[in-house]
Structure 1
Amino acid sequence: MRLKTLEISGFKSFADKTRIDFLPGMTGIVGPNGSGKSNISEAVRWVLGEQSAKSLRGSKMPDVIFAGSADRHPLNRAAVAITFDNSDHYLKSDYTELTISRVLYRNGDSDYQLNGQSCRLKDITELLMDSGMGQDSFSIISQGRVEAIFNSKPEDRRNIIEEVAGVYKYRKHKEKAQRELDDTMAYLNRVEDIIAELEGRLEPLEEQSSLAEDYLDQQKKFALLDRTQLVRQLHTEMDQKRTVDTAVQEKQTQVVNHQRSEQKQTTTVQSLKHQQTDLLAQKDALQAKLVSATRLVEQSQGQVNLSGEQQRHQAEQRQQLEQQLTETQDQIKDNRDQLAAVQEKLTALTAEMATVKQAIHDLTKATDPRVLADIRQQIEKQRNTYFDQKQQVANWRNEQQYLQQDQERRQQAGQRVRQQLTTLQSDATMATDAVAELTTQATTMKNCLNQAEQDLDAEAGNYQRVDQQYQGLQHNWQSALEVYQRAQTKVASQQAASAEYGGFYQGVRAILKQRERFRGLLGAVSELLQVPDRYTTAVEFALGGQLQQVVVDDETTAKAAVGYLRKQRAGRATFLPLSTIRGRQIDRNTLSLLHSMPGYLGIGSDLVTIDAQAQVILQYLLGTTVFAANLDNAVAISQRIHHRYRVVSLGGDVVSASGAITGGQTKQNHSSVLRQQQELQQLEGSIKQMKQQLAEQETKIKAQRSLLMDSEKRRQDLQATINERQPQCRQLDDRLANAQTTADQAQRKLAAAQLEIKQATAEDDDHKATELIEQIKTGEAAIAETAVRVKELQARLATLGTDQEAQQATLSQKQAWLAGAKERRQQQSATVQQLTSDEAAANDRIQNLRDQLTQLDQQHALTPAAAQDQLKAAQVDRQQIEADLATTNDQLTTVNDDLAAAETANQRTSGLLQLANDDLQRAQVQQTRLAALIDQQQNQLSEKYSLSLAAAEKDVSDIAPDDLAVQLKLLKRGLDEIGTVNVHAIDEYHEVKERYDFLTQQRDDLLTAKDQLTTTMTELDDQVKTRFKASFDQIAAKFTATFRQMFGGGTAELVLTDPADLLTTGIDIMAQPPGKKFQNMGLLSGGERALTAITLLFAILQVQPVPFCILDEVEAALDPANVTRFARYIHQFQDQTQFIVITHRKETMVQADILYGVTMQESGVSKMVAVDLDQETTTERKPS
């Protein structure tokens, strides 16, 4: 395999697309410092996957994109493509030619391609792994890497041997195995924790399971006898109830008769009360009229006395008002004349002020100092331009002088090389071919090895896929297990809270905890309801605290519970006795109307279910509650049914029967007892599903583990084959390297000389000189134009300064007149305001005088005769009112006597009715008690045994009554002694036992996997030790031999710092150049250290040849004699390794088959110049 081409575009200084063709043999890249030579080696490193911007001499990766120059804009992308001839399939690919491309955009986007197809960086890394061309390989060696060999610590120096030994993939496998071991140990710890937890649960669960089975057996016997007792009690109580029903009917007839008599008497009393009320109202009205008539008589008497004097006073007052009105009107007329004159003066003054203001504005603008400042700024700007132009012309003259000196220097250098050219041409020789038979054998063996490695990679991919699936199943199982355990913990917590009745009121919680004390206690309303999720919120807000009301069979149980709470001082609770609670329902007409309303969902008692025995409670609580979709629908429905029933929305908004609306949302969202019970039920259902899913996942894990073991066996077989063939390949490579010959040194000297002659005759110098002359002429013309513009601006500045002085004097006069005019206008405006105010006040006085005259016109004084007639009429009206009042008092006395007699008779009848009602109530209480007792016992049959009375009669015992009580007592005592048992312990024990067995098997598998991983890591360490030691021994031997050749004598050795620990040992380099003592390389001179480091690199290349090697100024620190040795020694590898040498040393140049020159004719932009030394032609590499 060899490197064919390198294409660079936009990478660092290579702004234009540049293509470099690499031919067999040694290629030299030369050029002055700063021309961009090293950018070529960095481009190769970058396209092969380098990720460190620092190693590419940048701070961040976009720094590799061409940043622009004085004449060019920055580019937006950098692209590099490298092409390999892979006809020998050195790289593990079916392609005979491979092109790796990398593109980076300034926004950070990047793309990798392999033969034009997008790929991942990982794909390129895997392709180059163990090929000698990956990161940190010996395919690219810079001067810094040479220095690192003698500057690094012994422990860091071992990385060089590891790279040769190819232990990178083993270390990767070990790191992967270590990660798998860590994961396995973490998982093992979790499994052991779970097993420890299950072990602690198994023994108690086994005991609980046995106890629960005994409990269930005794409970079955107790249930049979309990049913028998309930059936017998029911028959006795039903007989008693039939007798009480007859007595209730008789009492009800008596009550009805007394009610009819009472109703008639009440009607009579009400009629008399109405008459009494009417007469009292009539009396009050007559008394009020009498008071008014008396007051009118007194007023009429006063009018008779005052009528003459009033007429005289009104005449005098009219005369005074008319005189004041005439005087005020004359005053308004004079005021208006004066106002018109002042307003005329004010208008003229305002117009004159506007004219003066405009003149002031024009003068202010003309005298603005900013005008002069602007002209001065223009003058300064033109002066700066003048000096910049002068500086630019001076720079061009300096560049012209430098160009002339550079031409003279290169002509002298070319003259020296031409004198040596004839001698160099006579020394040229041809190179010999490599041994074809060894090449064929090596190729065949490598193909076999590549095939085995491809098979191993394929199997590794299969193993990785199966392992990923296995790990995924394990991860999913672990995640599911954790979710299952969290759910179990949450259920246990909620069950514990439910057992303690968390969320219930104190009194309710106390009763429910002692529910076994009360035989007729069914439970809290929230326990008995079954509410669909959709209606949970609506039911919560509709019932509120009623959810915590306790349902009991009758009042007896309720009273017992209340007594218990009072005795224990345990709080309060509300009880709903089934014997007394009556259901409620909506009338048919309203129900029919509701069905036609939008948003109507139904009646609460129809949407929610309850235990059958408590159906009446549901009707009582929700029988008249309407459910609506939202608040708008709820309000509309409530209005339509005239607020007769409560309406609740799904969001919990309540429209009560009174019309009140309750709604909103609190910040805290505490779960009600109803929602807590629903959440507990949902969690228990989820746990069942999780348990089934865990079992299915455990089955899949077992099957996947079997596939994983099979794949591991195939991988081990393939690895054994590879380990056998790799040493054979290395032996053939060594024999082939020794058979290859060196190239002709004279040919390379000739090529170097020709390149130097070409550089001495640059083609574009004349063009550059002509261009500089034109630039200087243009610059001098621009300087003259700028000087003229400066003089013109200075003359304009002087003229403006003189004009502004005269205009400033005029401006001051105008401003003084304007200030006085403003004061005069303010005085005149005040006068106008005062006159206007006086006129408004006069108008107000005129209106007031006219109002007073109008009032006098409306007042007419009565004559003495008219006043006397009015008095007589008032006295007659008063006498008539007094007669009507006497008649009304007589009627009121008669009605009061009749009303007292009727009320006495009604009270006697009400007493008889009360006695009859008391008798009826006592009978009904006894009837209700018997009915509730019957209902309670029937509910007990239904609740406990899900049986009706008829069905229970078929499944009873024929035991005698006395024996029945004894047996029930004994069984009850036995159940009490057993106490509370967990009946779910039977199923839970079997579940935990099954889970314990599965996890135990998992633990055994994990322990086996742990041992296998530990063994694998030990084997990998052994492989690293073996390969490291073998490579070290080979490199050490080659290093000693190569050292003698490079130094012309002396000796050197590689020494392990800790031979007992081959995994961590460092490497020391001991050397003895000719004429010096044997010492550590760090004590040598700088040049000797550099040559020793280069010697080590050559020794490594002999042990592990690479297809190509880029040497970036590695010989820079050597003296000329050592550079010659270095360059000659390269020829020993040119047939097995393609060398690209970046140098500026002439001794290296003469050894190259082809030279590329890197120039920077344009500032900041690199270009290539190629010299084919065989054809003796020179061409410039133009941008593609």
Structure 2
Amino acid sequence: MRLTHIKLSGFKSFAETTVIAVPGRRVAVVGPNGCGKSNVIDAVRWVLGESSAKQLRGEHMQDVIFNGASGRRAAARAWVELVFDNSAGLLGGAWGQYAEISIKRQLSRQGESLYFINGQTVRRRDITELFLGTGVGVRGYAVIEQGMITRIIDARPDELRGYLEEAAGVSKYKERRRETESRLADTRAHLQRLADLRGELAQQTEKLRVQAAAAERHQALEAELASVCDLADFIQWQQSLADADRADAHRRAAQAQLDETEAQITAYDNECARLAGQEQQQQQQRHQLAREHALLREQTARLEEQLHAQRRHQAQRTQQRAAAEAALHKLAQERDTLLRDSALAEHAAQQQSELAQTLAEAAEQAQNTLDEAQAHADRCDRDARQADNHARHAAHQAQLQHQQWQHAAQMLQRQQTQLAALAEHSDTADHTAQTAALEQRLAAQLAQYRTDETRLREHETELAQLQAQTAEAEAAYRTLHHRQTRLQAAEHALARWTDTPEHPDFWQQLPEAPVGTRSLWQDITIEDEWRQAAYALLAVRLNARCAAEHFSPGEPLPQGEAAWFYPLALPDRPPPADALQHRITLAADSPFAGALAWCTDGVRCAPSLQQALSRRHELRGHEIWLTPEGHRIDRAGACLHGTGAPAHSALAEQARLREHLRQLAPQTDQAHAHWQTQQQACTDTHTRISALNAQLRRHQEALQQTRQDWAHHTARCEQQQAQQRHTRTLREAAEQECLMLAETEHTRAQACAEQQDRANAAQAAADAVRHNRDAAQHALAHARHHLQHCRQTCLDARERAAALQQHLQQLAQSLQHNAEQQRHWQQQQQDQADGAWPDYEEQIVRLDSLNELCAQTEDALTECGQQLQHTQTLARQTEQQRRECHARLPQHQDTVRDQLLLQQEALLAAKHHYETLSARHGGEPDCPETAWAHLKTAAQHAPSPRALARQAETLRHNIKQLGAVNLAALHELEQAAEREQYYQNQHHDLQNAVALLQEAIAQIDRDTEARFRATFDAANAHMQNYFPTLFGGGSAQLTLVGDTLLDAGVAITARPPGKKNSSIKLLSGGEKALTAMSLVFALFSLNPAPFCLLDEVDAPLDDANTARFCRLLEQMSAQTQFLYISHNRLTMESAEQLVGVTMQEQGVSRVVAVDVRQDPTAPQT
């Protein structure tokens, strides 16, 4: 496989489509600096899938697109294409069948990146996988750009391992291992999720089993309830029709009595209307007389009130005249007082005005004094600031002198310290002991690391065993727990059904309980084969309790079924061999031993019904045969056992379930404890493994650090002597500098003392000036205070004068108001004197006339009232008779209405029962008599509707006791079983997949170790061969850093001819470059890449080394095609073809090709 063409368009400086032909085995790219040669290397890296813009010398990936130049616009996209000749078919995979392979990458400014192989769009991963293991790739060793040679030498051990893995073809194994680990992690996550789903499904299944049992019972009860309701509705429908006919007959009889009573009421109503009209006329006449009498009485009262008011008004006028005279006297006194107050206030106001004028003159004088003090204070303040500035300047100078003196002293002390350190450092140390200690520590750490690794493998083996045991313990526990949960659910369902009002607790209704609280079923253990037979025989006695000898429940008996045993002694004679007593075991302290022996006395066991019937003649007295199915056969006949009473069979089943739960509980607890113990052991072992892993990593890091310390220590020992000679030279120079610094320090100390004296004198002068300034400021403050006092006193005097003026105005207003009041009272007295009395005698005569007319009207009113009373008596008698008829009327109406309501209720009830019955059967039948003939037949022998209602209510109560029933539980249970089977198949498949993936990872690790070991040994041998060739001597080797081949790093040890350097970092730039090239050529010899790109790797080499490099390059070109960039003449001469890159147009690169083998002077563009 050979690279034939490199095509670029819009990539960095290659603005136009450029084709670089690569026909030879050695092609050199030449040109001046900055013309775009390295852009060819970047283009190859980019098309191979480089995703880091930093590796392409940019900040963003769009930086690779041509950004324009003078006279050229920026490109919209960039693309690069590599064309390979695969005629030899060396490239494997799906593309190996093509003779020519083209790889292309395209990027737009919108960020869309596309990859193509032979024109087909592919993924970046496809291109990476195409070159896996060939050394060509983003992180391969086939593309060596500028600075990469140095990075190879300075690389960490794990980075160097990457180059060897690429040469060994391990990279594709690592990629497969990474994918396998990812799949393994996903598979384990699926397993965990599947385990959670199975756990959830198990819980749901248990719930669904209980719900399915409840649903089946619910359906049975619903069917029975529907049958009872049909019969009850049919019977009530027929009864309602009969009730409607009887109610209609009663209604017609009551209607006839109602019509007769209504005729009597009509006659009485007419008579009452006539009497009511007569009574109304008499009442109107009486009301007219009453109004006239009331009018006369009102006029009489009004006249009497007027006479009384005239007398009272005269008395009030006399009192008002006396009050007016008193008010006039009081107003005269107030006027005299106001005149005196006005004179006093006017005098006080004049005095305050004179005082304010005096205080204003004093304030003006104080203002003049304040101005003079302010000017003096300003002068003192300026002097103080000047003195302070002078003092600060002097202090600053003194501080500078002091700092210079301190600096000189510090320099002297530092030089003395450095001199002492150099003297101490110049002593020769013996590093032999340290070297021996490092070697001893290295051996101890290596032994400890191997010991920890052995312990870790032992613990991992132990953990695998414990995990297997834990899985077995968990499976056993879950099996027992699953069985226990099913039994508990069934027992709980039976307990809910039996614990209903239909089966009340007999013992809780007693005033006192029997002797024991335990039941028989709690003390007995029955063989599995005979358990059903024993339950059928004992029935309700399974729940029997042990009572006292003289126990009696009393009358009336409590509701519910119950049984009890009295304490009895065991019989003397033993039971026969086939007796039931041998199949039943009682607890040691059970009080039921004698009673159970009596109950089972004479009960013999037969294996089958046929055998019991054939041996019936062997029975004596009260003996019976009992079969495992519960059938009983005596000499008189046989009693076959069916399902029995629901309560008895449920109680028996409940007793059986409780017995199983009691036996299963210790097994479940023991299995759970064993599972927890195994889990704890796994956790402890896993904790120890984690601790050992951490300890192993710490020991590995310490071992690596010790190896590095040993190498660094060897280098330090070789450099010690040169450092000691240099130290002696530094010590002599330091001694001379110490003498000079001592003289400088003494001079600076004297100058500092003189400057400090000058600063103290300036500070004393500043203090004196500040004292004068403080005195002037105190005088200024006193003058300001005096001026403020004068202004405030003047202001107070003016305010008092204004207040007195206002008081004078108020007094004047009061005098004016007083005068107005005097005039008012005088006017009122004059008005009262002008008043006169009315005609009093005429009003008395008029009053006597009104009293006489009032007496006459009162007599006429009395006579009219008597006539009205007679008429009302007749009306009340007639009304009483009418009311008696009305009283009988509601009774007859109620009778009619009640019978009508009874008829309607019966018809509605019949309609309701008919509609209910029709709706229950899906609609009204065409012929009800034919459709419900079976109900008519059943109704002839059915109990009463009330008994049917009680039976239906009992069934509803039983349905209600079931609680919320999931009717879809049966279907859901089937679906859950299907899901469980599906999950189980999935779990099996996932476990097989985990095992297969683990085996694949182990196989990949084994192949990786083998290939890496072979590659490492071969690369080490090739490097030991190429290193002397490039250097003309010397030695180099590769070493593994680590104890495991899967993660061990690779280190380079190189010693050029004549040198014994301890570290490769001590080599020069050219030596590092040759060492790196020897490693690269060793990798190419081991796994030749299709091509190799070198970017100025010969820059640090001299002519001799360049000549050796060129000879080796010619030798390697037989297997690998080289494309390199160089400015070295010798390197250019060794090339078969020259590709010149120029930049005649600023910012745009062009290519010129020359085939040296044909005509060196003929360029090809």
Give TM-score scaled by structure 2 length: 0.43
**Bigger radius of gyration:** 2
Give TM-score scaled by structure 1 length: 0.43
